[in-house]
Structure 1
Amino acid sequence: MKKKVTMQDIADRLNISKNSVSQALTGKPGVSEVTRTLVQNTANELGYDYPNSRKQKLADKKMSSNIALIASDYAFSLKSFFGEIYLSSEKEVRARGMNLFIEPIDNESKKNLTLPSVLSNHDIDGILILSHISTEYISKIISTGIPTVLIDHHSPYLKADSILTNNRFGAFTAVEHLIHLGHLDIAFVGNVDISPSYQERFEGYLLALKKHGIKPNENLMLTNVQENQDEISLFLDNLQDQPSAWFCVNDGLGFLVSSVLQQRGFKIPENVSICSFDNGQLSQILTPKITTMDIDLSYYGKKAVEQLCWRMENKEDPIQEILLPTKLIIRESTSEKR
């Protein structure tokens, strides 16, 4: 008669504790996914006889989950930023043995609140929403009851988990860097109405000024600018006093401000310092390269998928907002005030 395989047999084969085997086979926390998979594969190889309930759970797990990644056409077009997050999300989904379905949302669908076709054409287990579409549209998606995680967007009206950059503290760090270099007249450039991220970066700018006893100068704050050279030039034309440094909410504006200033004869950083945010390609191709706040975009996507998988298993737990840190990358565009 064939000997019945026990958990101890599996533990001996893998040289791990029986308790770890039990945790892996019963689905309890306490072991890594790598160990859990190794234990399950060894159990199958040795012919371990699972309890009936566990057999069913394992059978269910073999059916791959389907994940939908949704974003506006505009977000998908920003390949240097959201493209990297999308690719890292896709990589993590595949690594977890799940299927990923991608669907861009055009303006017509957003306006008419037409749900993505992927939700009706496939059995979707979880949704990733990349950046902002509209509060009404995202609310309709959330109302389907499918576990949803927002990436780089949040709102008091949206009841879903969010993976976010710590924009306030990142901007604080950037502006404090300029202050430590002796700059007191620091301009702010960005459209705070476009994204909560930009509003939060503006708040971080103000927080740094307050921390160091610098009175904010409204004449140096351009808070509703579009990303084009004409608007930057117009702002410069109307400035009574030239700032010694500029903080720009993204690298695109940092690039534009630097270019316009150089066209007007300003030397960077001899005459003026520039600091931006995101550490994208535009911060690296200009001469001099721009000091900026770095965001780990590959970790962004990985963390979003990790949170979605957790949410799929914990649907009733409180909503979470997870803030990811930034890092100051000091380049040639900032120096001590002269």
Structure 2
Amino acid sequence: MRKKVTMQDIADRLNISKNSVSQALRGKDGVSEETRNMVINAAKEMGYEYPGKRRQNKRGKTGNIGLIASDMTFSFKFFWEIYLSIEKEVIARGMRLHIQSVNDEQKDRLVLPSFIEQKTVDGILILSHISNEYIQKVIETGIPTVLVDHHHPTIKADAVLTNNRFGAYLAVQHLIELGHRDIAFLGNIDYSPSYEERYEGYLLALREHGIKPTEDFIFTSAVEEEEALSKYIRGLKKQPTAWFCANDGLGFFITSALKQQGFQIPKQVSVCSFDNGQLAKIATPKTSAVDIDLKLYGRKAVETLFWRMENPDEPHQEILLSSKLIKRESTGAAPKSDDSPGSR
């Protein structure tokens, strides 16, 4: 009978500690990317079986993970990059990834993908928001489930999230440190809990710096359309000197709308957004933005799901990933009175 390969066997072969092997195989921090890849490759060559996979094989399953998301979610490059990271991590653990998009009709009728209905997957990742009712039906199947970039008080499941409040706080704090006091918020807080949390971070930064929010500068139902944003700008009696946008799309379109109306960025008005995706990088000028480590997002999502598969009775947890601010040309010192947004 073939001897079962252990983590210690891998450690002995590579001349590293067993703890390093464990960290690498479980996707945890503490080892370099080079070491992690080396351990994963050695595990494959030696025939090491992950604990979750061994347990599943005893139930006659082959080691499958399901990933579902709405059609809209899969259309965003932001989430596509998280998906690619998830795929890499699942494959590295010797399992297969099954993907299914959920359209509006399936969402409304609560129609689950066949691999969930037939329970042919051992764990499920739900990328972003579908609907709370739909997510609840998935959870009720009893298959271990982890939410990625979504949570809600009524949903009892593990979640991997961006620390949206603190990220937004960093962005607004940056604007305040540049001398801005008239700072607008732009985002649809009803679209996603993430956007509402970014709005809360915006308010927190203003409050902690003794700045009273200006009601006319708060647009909590904003849409990503240049004409609609131009209408916002034209309707203001007084112009803000800075705009904080809940995502890069809004940042891109408000930049375009401001330029169309003759505002100089950042001399007269600054723009800062959240996500640091492609739109922030191709805007003119390039947009200062809160950056999210999307590879880490995918790695933590898979790590959390595998932990849940091994620990089905542990309390649910929410993992918050920190972010950082990338400063670019779209943010500058608050204008003097003669260079204010009202002076074009």
TM-score interval w.r.t. the shorter chain? 0.7 to 0.9
Per-residue deviation, residues 28-58 of structure 1 (Å, max 9, x unmatched): xxxx9949x7699499xxxxxxxxxxxx869
The change in CA–CA distance for 1:10 and 1:176 in structure 2 (over 3 A counts) is: closer
| Deviation per residue, 1:4-45 (Å, 9 max, x gap) | xxx9x979975979x969x99xxxxxxx9949x7699499xx
1:213 aligns with 2:210: yes
**Equivalent in 142, 146, 149 of residue 149 of structure 1:** 146
Structure (1 or 2) with the larger CA radius of gyration: 1
Q: Distance in 2 between matches of 1:142 and 1:58?
A: 19
Q: Distance in 1 between matches of 2:106 and 2:44?
A: 46
Shift of 1:230: 2.2
User: Could you say which residue in structure 1 is the equivalent of 2:63?
Assistant: 65
Partner SS for 1:139:
helix
Rounded Cα–Cα distance in structure 1 between residues aligned with 2:12 and 2:127: 44
Cα deviations by residue, 1:266-318 (Å, 9 ceiling, x for unpaired): 11001100000000000011111000000011110111000000000000000
2:265 aligned partner, one-letter code? I
Aligned partner of 2:79 among 79, 82, 92? 82
Change (3 A) 1:226 1:58: closer
- Structure 1 runs (4+) greater than 2 angstroms displaced: 9-17, 32-35, 37-43, 56-64
Residue number in structure 1 paired with 2:25:
none
Tell me how far apart the structure 1 counterparts of residues 11 and 124 of structure 2 sit (CA, whole Å). 41
2:143 aligned counterpart, secondary structure: coil
Choose the corresponding residue for 2:318, options 318, 321, 334: 321
Q: How high is the sequence identity, in percent, across the aligned residues?
A: 55
Residue equivalent to 2:329: 332
| 1:22-41 alignment, distance < 5 Å | 34=39, 41=46
SS at match of 1:91: helix
Contact 1:10 1:42 survives alignment (8 Å):
no
8 A Cα contact 2:56 2:62, kept in partner: no
- 1:286 equivalent in alignment to 2:266: no
Please give the residue correspondences for 1:92-103 in structure 2 after superposition, counting only pairs within 5 Å: 92-103=89-100
Distance 1:315 1:122 in 2: 16
Matching residue's letter, 1:71? A
Partner of 1:182, secondary structure, is: coil
CA–CA distance in 1 between the matches of 2:157 and 2:194?
17
Amino acid paired to 1:127: I
- Unaligned stretches of 5+ in structure 2? 1-5, 23-30, 49-53, 336-344
Shift of 1:119: 1.8
Structure-1 separation of matches of 2:301 and 2:46: 28
Partner of residue 238, structure 2: 241
Matches within 5 A, 1:182-201: 182-201=179-198
Q: TM-score, normalised by structure 1?
A: 0.85
- How many angstroms apart in 2 are the aligned matches of 1:138 and 1:225? 26
CA contact (8 A) 2:116 2:138 kept: no
- Cα deviation, residue 99, structure 1: 0.7
**Bigger mean CA offset, 143-152 vs 220-229:** 220-229
Does 1:169 pair with 2:156?
no
Q: Unaligned regions of 5+ residues in structure 1, if any?
A: 1-6, 25-31, 44-55
Does structure 1 residue 274 correspond to structure 2 residue 271? yes
Distance 1:61 1:182, change over 3 A: farther
Q: Equivalent of 1:105, from 102, 105, 114?
A: 102
Pair 1:14–1:145, CA change in 2 (3 A): same
- Shift in alpha-carbon separation, 1:98–1:325, aligned structure 2, 3 A: same
> Per-residue deviation at 1:122?
5.7
* Aligned partners of 1:10 and 1:39 also within 8 Å: no
Q: Structure 1 pair 64/219, CA: closer, same or farther in 2 (3 Å)?
A: same
Deviations 1:171-226 (A, max 9, x none): 00000000000000000000000000000000000000001000111110000111
DSSP-derived class of the 1:103 partner: strand
Determine if contact 2:56/2:63 at 8 Å carries over to the other structure.
Answer: no
- How far does the alpha carbon of each residue in 1:64-86 deviate from its partner, in whole angstroms, 9 at most, with x for none? 421000001111111x1000001
Instruction: Give the conservation status (yes or no) of the 8 Å contact 2:247–2:274.
Output: yes
Offset at residue 233 of structure 1 (A): 1.4
Give the conservation status (yes or no) of the 8 Å contact 2:11–2:18.
no
Letter in 2 for 1:230: E
**SS in structure 1 opposite 2:221?**
coil
- 2:341 is matched with which residue? none
Tell me, in whole angstroms, the C-alpha distance in 2 between the residues paired with 1:121 and 1:303.
27
Given the superposition, is the C-alpha separation of residues 207 and 58 from structure 1 closer, same or farther in structure 2, using an over 3 Å criterion? closer
SS in 1 for 2:167: helix
Partner residue, 2:155 = 158
Matching residue's letter, 2:113: P
